[in-house]
Structure 1
């Protein structure tokens, strides 16, 4: 057999062997497919089906979430809350928080509490719940609303606080038709002294938070998040946006309410800071003595519309501080020297440059000097 014929026969044999190998692989794959058809779609279907089953379980709480629960915090059973709120009766709603409704309730112990039932929206509700557990659930201060406990059952996330009798500062500044719980009685205007004491209370609460070993920033200081008790003492509330600081910055998105947000947040800052709280506090200082909403434009003589902080600084530059005050403040207790000191502090807090603002610890000291004869 010549070499040419041998080469042809060898090539033909190789072709046959390779063909048999591919045929065998094809048959094996086909048999496997018949035994287990469409594995990927089935796997996706099981994943979609299992998630709702877990979330609707009355005992489900994720491992990651449960790690946030301080063992010292009081866990309150859903059955107790259903009884206390008459099955979350609309008649007991006393407020609408940033992410849920707030109910007034009386626990079986006789204690009256505020019960915030967070929105069922998974992202917002869980984020607020975690924020409250990480911050408010672990701190105590006379000017910060007390956290009594929580309930976590299925999709429900509920937070329980002390009940603050006179409602929010926002109500007292703008809704003078009635007291918080008695619609038949007129609400008297806040005096100058009362307003100063309220703003001092907020300053003390913020200074405490900012000077913790692991500082906390609130990120949403505003009139509706300041609650007043029977003595008109201020209690900072609604910590749903609060975050703990790492170093001097909070590695989270900026947040807040328009009108109170500092310019650096509006202009694209990516990290929230304690100085952001200071700015919002300065806006609150302007608001509480002028009774003008920060988000509402003010029309000046030139017919131009400007924000509260811009209007305030313009009036100060023209030595018109006394004309800025809420007309309902009783005039007999007003002292121009105190008013000038007050607005100077508000201006320091709302400096456009964050590093030039005073810290809350410094602000507390300055507010304590308002009624002193010394100048600021």
Structure 2
């Protein structure tokens, strides 16, 4: 490689680590010089191609310089005998030296960034751990308190209602550990599973979704409210389960699923003759009349729709899903809410727009449902 001697700023040296020294035929040695003096001497001589310490003991001393071609210089293997490579400084154009230095600096920069990032992550993790522990403890305490309040509330009600409690183990065994094969459907509350108890009685298990914040209030509302209602056209609540994070309602099982399963399917709709459709309409009307007028409580369902009408083995209709229902006092005729719940298409306009609900809201939903039963078309 031909290097210019006119401008020393265009000359530099690249450090090679662990190399066998070149052949000494064209070399010069001075044991009294240090490495800096050795570099200057090599830089001032256009024929000098490399330099190093002549003695590498005790940190290095002396000066060895090579002129002309570097013969028999090579990297020594890191293993094996006589693996005693030495650092040697090779003369190069400055831009190539700078390139090597830039690469080295980039490598060091990456290493520094990685080390600093790991240190920050460790410190952050140490500082964050007490906060996470505190939040988790608070969250668990709140959940336990909520569960206790629900349990106490239900137990207080169940003294008069005689509402049975089912253990989680019983429900897991009945549903085959909530097998997907036993899943009947899923709503805003959570999934519903079919189960079979040890006495061969079939049940429907409504499981509160853990991610459903809305479902908790619905659970309390439904378990306290529907247990007080007894009518052949209302689905019957058999019991409940609260254990750990699990909250479930246990209902009688309806083998023919829901009304929408039939009326909106062209093939299955043929099962429903006009007399059967008339009986279903009358059954829904009787159940609704019981909720509004004949029960000990005046109940506004607020979510009357085809999927909430279940059919038993004889195709008798039963109104279900009382999670959205509201109780009215004896003299109360209407209410107002800032939280409009239900299903659009079945909602009365005054309820959907202004949050006003009354028995008329359910009657409007019943009218829409009546049109769907007669026409077989969704609203």
Secondary structure of 1:260's partner? coil
Aligned residues of 2:284 and 2:318 also touching (Cα < 8 A): yes
Secondary structure of 2:204's partner? strand
- TM-score normalized by structure 2? 0.60
Hey, what's the Cα distance between the residues in 2 that align with 1:225 and 1:208? 17
What are the Cα deviations for residues 110-163 of structure 1, in whole angstroms up to 9, with x where unaligned? 210011111113522212211211221211100000100000112211010000
Deviation, 1:255, is 2.2
Higher CA-based Rg: 2
* Alignment partner, residue 302 of structure 2: 219
* Alignment partner, residue 154 of structure 2: 68
What are the Cα deviations for residues 78-109 of structure 1, in whole angstroms up to 9, with x where unaligned? 00001111110001001223311111100122
* Alignment partner, residue 271 of structure 2: 189
Hey, what's the Cα distance between the residues in 1 that align with 2:309 and 2:190? 17
Hey, what's the Cα distance between the residues in 2 that align with 1:164 and 1:191? 20
Hey, what's the Cα distance between the residues in 2 that align with 1:134 and 1:176? 38
Show the 5 A alignment for 1:141-180. Answer: 141-176=231-266
Show the 5 A alignment for 1:277-288. Answer: 277-288=362-373
1:231 and 2:314 aligned: yes
Deviation, 1:63, is 2.2
Secondary structure of 2:251's partner? strand
Instruction: Check 1:174–1:113 CA distance in 2 against 1; reply closer, same or farther (3 A cut).
Output: same
What are the Cα deviations for residues 260-282 of structure 1, in whole angstroms up to 9, with x where unaligned? 11111232x23321110010001
In structure 1, stretches of 5+ residues that fail to align are: 1-40, 179-186, 295-376
Aligned residues of 2:150 and 2:220 also touching (Cα < 8 A): no
Aligned residues of 1:168 and 1:225 also touching (Cα < 8 A): yes
Instruction: Check 1:154–1:122 CA distance in 2 against 1; reply closer, same or farther (3 A cut).
Output: farther
* Alignment partner, residue 86 of structure 1: 176
Aligned residues of 2:204 and 2:252 also touching (Cα < 8 A): yes
Aligned residues of 2:233 and 2:317 also touching (Cα < 8 A): yes
* Alignment partner, residue 198 of structure 1: 280
* Alignment partner, residue 96 of structure 1: 186
Secondary structure of 1:68's partner? helix
Show the 5 A alignment for 1:259-298. Answer: 259-267=345-353, 269-294=354-379
Hey, what's the Cα distance between the residues in 2 that align with 1:63 and 1:96? 26
Secondary structure of 2:270's partner? coil
The one of the two structures with greater contact order (alpha-carbon pairs below 8 A, sep at least 6) is 1
What are the Cα deviations for residues 39-82 of structure 1, in whole angstroms up to 9, with x where unaligned? xx9x998863432233566x972325521342211110000001
Secondary structure of 1:104's partner? strand
* Alignment partner, residue 334 of structure 2: 249
> Which has the larger share of strand?
2
1:52 and 2:134 aligned: no
